[in-house]
Structure 1
Amino acid sequence: MQIREACEYDAKRFAKMQLQIDGETDYMLYGAGEREISTKDAKKRLEYFADLPYSIILVAEDMETESLVGFLIADGNPPNRMQHSIYIAVGVLKDYWGQGVATRLFEHMETWARGRGIVRRIELGVLCENQKALRLYQKLGYEIEGTHRDSFMIGNEYYDTYWLSKLI
Structure 2
Amino acid sequence: MKEIKLKNGETAILRTPTKEDAKAMIDYLNIIGGESDFITFGENEFTLSVEAEQEYIEKTNSMKNCKNVLTIINDEIVGIASINSIQKERMKHNATLGISFRKKYWGMGLGNEVISYLIQWCKSNGITKKISLLVREDNDRGIRLYEKFGFEREGLLKKDICVHGVYYNTVTMGLYID
> Shared fold (TM-score greater than 0.5)?
yes
User: Contact conserved, 1:127 with 1:160, CA < 8 A, in 2?
Assistant: yes
1:9, CA displacement in angstroms?
A: 2.3
Identity of aligned residues (%): 25
Query: Matched residue pairs, number?
Result: 166
Q: Provide Cα deviations, 1:86-144, integer angstroms capped at 9, x if missing partner.
A: 01111100011011112111111112111111211000000011111111111121111
Partner of 2:22: 11
Q: Provide Cα deviations, 1:47-89, integer angstroms capped at 9, x if missing partner.
A: 1211222111111111xx2111101111111111111110111
Q: Are residue 119 (structure 1) and residue 139 (structure 2) matched?
A: no
Q: Are residue 109 (structure 1) and residue 98 (structure 2) matched?
A: no
Q: Are residue 84 (structure 1) and residue 93 (structure 2) matched?
A: yes
1:55 corresponds, among 57, 61, 66, to 66
Tell me the amino acid that sits aligned with residue 8 of structure 1: K
Q: Are residue 40 (structure 1) and residue 51 (structure 2) matched?
A: yes
Partner of 2:8: none
What secondary structure is seen at the aligned counterpart in 2 of 1:12?
A: helix
Counterparts of 1:20 and 1:114, CA distance in 2: 32
What secondary structure is seen at the aligned counterpart in 2 of 1:10?
A: helix
Cα-Cα RMSD: 1.3
Counterparts of 1:127 and 1:70, CA distance in 2: 19
Counterparts of 1:125 and 1:58, CA distance in 2: 18
What secondary structure is seen at the aligned counterpart in 2 of 1:162?
A: strand
Counterparts of 1:87 and 1:4, CA distance in 2: 19
Return 5+ residue gaps in structure 2 as ranges: 1-11
TM-score (norm 2): 0.88
User: Contact conserved, 1:49 with 1:55, CA < 8 A, in 2?
Assistant: yes
1:130 corresponds, among 123, 127, 139, to 139
Counterparts of 2:42 and 2:88, CA distance in 1: 31
User: Contact conserved, 1:70 with 1:102, CA < 8 A, in 2?
Assistant: no
Partner of 1:141: 150
